[in-house]
Amino acid sequence: MTKSELILKITNKNSFLYQKDVYKIVDAIFNTVIRALKNGDRVELRGFGTFSAKNRNARIGRNPKTGDPVAIPKKKMPFFKMGKSMKERINS
């Protein structure tokens, strides 16, 4: 599901909301999660899961086309851990 599909689905289920307002709400939620991860915080949505950022160390990789070594800098990677009730809902 894409962001626009999510917005349409929320708008269709809540006919009293305008699509532009739903867009602003979804965008605000995503931006808040991104900002928290950038600051090193953890975002926990009960019943859904936890978002966190994990550090990946710098390393030497290989260009798959040429085989030449390539320096890969250290970076933060987003990580999502599914909540227990989410697992139960998906697997039932």
What mean pLDDT is predicted for residues 15-26? Answer: 95
What tens digit of pLDDT does each residue of 59-76 get? 999 999 999 999 999 999
76: β partners: 55
The pLDDT assigned to 30 comes to: 95
Domain boundaries, the chain: 3-91
Percent of the chain whose pLDDT exceeds 90: 98
The secondary structure of the chain, three-state, reads CCHHHHHHHHHHHCCCCCHHHHHHHHHHHHHHHHHHHHCCCCEEECCCEEEEEEEECCEEEECCCCCCEEEECCEEEEEEEECHHHHHHHHC
The pTM (predicted TM-score) of the whole model is 0.78
* Joined tokens for residue 22: 């739903």
What tens digit of pLDDT does each residue of 36-53 get? 999 999 999 999 999 999
* CATH homologous superfamily for the domain 3-91: IHF-like DNA-binding proteins (4.10.520.10)
